[in-house]
Amino acid sequence: MTQTKTPGGPPRIASVGLYLQSVLLFTVVGAVATVIAGAAAFPSTGDSASIDPAFIVLFACAVLVSSGVMYGLLKFGAESLLSWAYLLLSWYSAVVVLVLVTQSTPIVVAGAVLSLAIPAAAHHRPEWYSVSAAGLVTCVCAVGVLALLLPVWAVVVLLVLLAVYDIIAVLLTGHVAELSESFEEEGVPAVIYLPLSRSFSRLNGTGSALTLGLADVAAPSVLVAATAVAPAYGPSVAGATLVGILLSFVPLYAGVRSYDGYLPALPVLNGGALVGFVAAVILL
């Protein structure tokens, strides 16, 4: 997570928090709809599934490999290839969500054609809102599928592993920071912008914004979606988890405002989600 540097007074955290709340709610609501519809079609998933712990290890390895491939493409000057890959991923994610939610061929076909407008807008005019919209569609799909596949305990383990990885990748190796910087420069829909001022424009270079990676939004949202549909937890635990994420944004925001560079957001956001989840399980 980082902040674009432009002149101007300090923004109000309430305004930034409102953007973050909207982003999280859109992601969670879309993911929960995906999970509910997907669970009806695939009943042996989610908390009713018998997940092999090796799946989590394989998923973590896939994150490492994909990160390495993207970093390699960046070093070879293939930023445009990365951009096209994320644009296609956004469209594919929209189709996957349509398939799981509607399971109607005519609607899926029509939706697949209409959803081409999302990556097309991000490619034609990569302003902050079009880039963020394409990234959010990918988040909804990722969160929905993971919450559908994984029981809650596996999601908790996954959040811890991703937080550790984020610390290493941002502060030690630094390759994620390089990727994020390249994504921002090229308008790749792999980041989500939280404007700090109404004048913010990515294309014109005016105003300022915070940028979150897709994983920063998706990872903690998985726990919200998974608990929302799990019979043992339900909406109250999911709501407390969401509140935990929003509250954890306060120290993260303060850190970004005072630190000149990229900070790992997942340890803070995932930590907030886990604190909210544990508190709700104990108290509710």
Q: For residues 112 and 101, is the Cβ–Cβ distance under 8 A?
A: no
Angle between helices 79-102 and 53-75 (to 10 degrees): 150
pLDDT in tens, 254-269: 888 787 778 899 999 9
For residues 120 and 150, give the distance between their C-alpha atoms in angstroms, rounded to a whole number: 32
Backbone phi and psi for residue 248, each to the nearest 5 degrees, phi listed first: -70, -20
32-49: average pLDDT: 66
199 three-state secondary structure = coil
The whole-number average pLDDT for the span 37-64 is 62
Of 48, 68, 240, 213, nearest to 142 by C-alpha is: 213
Cα–Cα separations (whole angstroms), residue 280 to 5, 33, 150, 225, 277: 38, 23, 20, 15, 5
Write down the pLDDT at residue 69.
Answer: 80
What is residue 180's predicted lDDT score, i.e. its pLDDT? 85
DSSP per position, 221-241: HHHHHHHHH-TTT-HHHHHHH
Q: 102-149: per-residue pLDDT in tens?
A: 877 888 889 889 889 999 999 999 999 999 999 999 999 889 888 888
Q: Which residue has the tokens 């994983």?
A: 215
Type and span of the H or E element at 127: none
Nearest to 112 by CA among 133, 94, 85, 137: 94
Please tell me the predicted confidence (pLDDT) of residue 8: 47
Alpha-carbon distance of 191 to 86, in angstroms, equals 10
User: Which pLDDT score is estimated for 30?
Assistant: 87
Q: For position 43, what pLDDT does the model report?
A: 58
Give the bridge partners for 109, in sequence order: none
Ranges of each domain in the chain: 2-45+53-283
Q: Give the per-residue pLDDT at 41.
A: 61
pLDDT of 50 above 80: no
**Single-letter amino acid, residue 116:** L
Q: Average of pLDDT values for 69-83?
A: 79
Distance CA 188, CA 191 (A): 7
Q: What are phi and psi of 104, to 5 degrees?
A: -120, 120
Q: Which residues pair with 210 in a beta bridge?
A: 3, 194
Helix (H, G, I), strand (E, B) or coil at 194: strand
pLDDT at position 149 is 82
